[in-house]
């Protein structure tokens, strides 16, 4: 059984992950972490989730939780993620990082940590989005000289723009095409879960590739798949293409 710690447990993603993990017999939730001052600290998870289990309390003590756990799932801020990564590294445990907005310095820190511990780091845990990555690469290889543009839309609370997924899509295209200008329109309104569209406008035809997330469950379930994958691995940095057995980009 995988002993799981969930950071940002009372946020929208954290609650989804908690709900799905509590119903999965492969997981035992041993840590539910929130930042100091969160009103849920000290409450039983069963109260927070409105369910009979799990019966542990929300805490701000990451160090104690990590000592009990095998894998940390992290969907918080870049600053908190890197702070928690240091604790995971010190305790030689595994981590799944779904946090977006991490800068180049942060990415280098993650890469260095992966030389000693197993890390899954992906801007998007959705199976469908990772298929979109593959389709975008194939379209970039086949279409000779299209005009390429991108639109991404998320809820009004999302701070980073463009999204980590949009940046990843742009990088996939640039890796194939070389230096090219890819305009990205970022929309922040309402409670949109996540939409991404890449348009390839060629001379005689236009191809639009779109992914629409119906629910945060798609990201939460992907994070749990990643946790099962990383629990069996030694040191190294992996992404969702590795987790899903897709071609890596």
Residues in binding site = 8-13, 34-35, 98-100, 122-125, 155, 164-165
Closest among 100, 80, 101 to 8, alpha carbons compared: 80
Catalytic residues: 154, 158
In the annotated binding site for (S)-2,3,4,5-tetrahydrodipicolinate, the residues are: 155, 164-165
Residue with tokens 């749990």: 224
With both helix axes pointing from N to C terminus, report the angle between 164-177 and 127-142 in degrees, rounded to the nearest 10: 30
In this structure, are residues 51 and 72 in contact, taking their beta carbons and an 8 Å threshold?
Answer: no
- Coil, strand or helix at 230: helix
Phi and psi angles of residue 206, each rounded to the nearest 5 degrees, phi first: -125, 135
Distances (CA, A) of 205 to 92, 169, 196, 201, 202: 52, 21, 20, 6, 5
The binding site for NAD(+) comprises: 8-13, 34, 98-100, 122-125
Using DSSP, state whether 147 is helix, strand or coil. Answer: strand
> Is 183 exposed, middle or buried, given 0-12, 13-18 or 19+ CB atoms closer than 10 A?
exposed
* Residue 201 CB neighbours (<10 A): 13
């Amino acid at each position: 059984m995988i002993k799981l710690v969930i950071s940002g447990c009372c946020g929208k993603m954290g609650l989804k992950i908690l709900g799905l993990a509590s119903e999965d017999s492969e997981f035992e939730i041993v840590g539910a972490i929130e930042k100091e001052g969160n009103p849920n600290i000290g409450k039983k998870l069963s109260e927070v989730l409105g369910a009979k289990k799990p019966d542990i309390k929300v805490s701000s003590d990451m160090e104690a939780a990590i000592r009990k756990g095998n894998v940390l799932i992290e969907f918080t801020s870049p600053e908190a993620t890197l702070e928690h990564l240091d604790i995971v590294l010190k305790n030689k445990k595994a981590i799944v990082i779904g946090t977006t907005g991490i800068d180049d310095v942060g990415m280098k820190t993650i890469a260095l940590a992966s030389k000693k511990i197993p890390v899954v780091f992906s801007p998007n845990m959705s199976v469908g989005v990772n298929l979109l990555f593959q389709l975008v690469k194939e379209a970039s290889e086949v279409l000779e000289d299209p005009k390429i543009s991108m639109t991404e839309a998320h809820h009004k609370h999302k701070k980073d723009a463009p999204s980590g997924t949009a940046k990843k899509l742009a990088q996939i295209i640039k890796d194939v095409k070389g230096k090219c200008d890819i305009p990205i329109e970022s929309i922040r309104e309402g409670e949109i879960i996540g939409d991404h569209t890449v348009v390839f406008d060629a001379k005689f035809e236009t191809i639009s590739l779109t992914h629409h997330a119906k629910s945060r469950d798609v990201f939460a379930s992907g994070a749990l798949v990643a946790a099962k994958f990383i629990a069996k691995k030694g040191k190294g940095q992996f992404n969702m293409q590795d987790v899903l057995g897709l071609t890596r980009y």
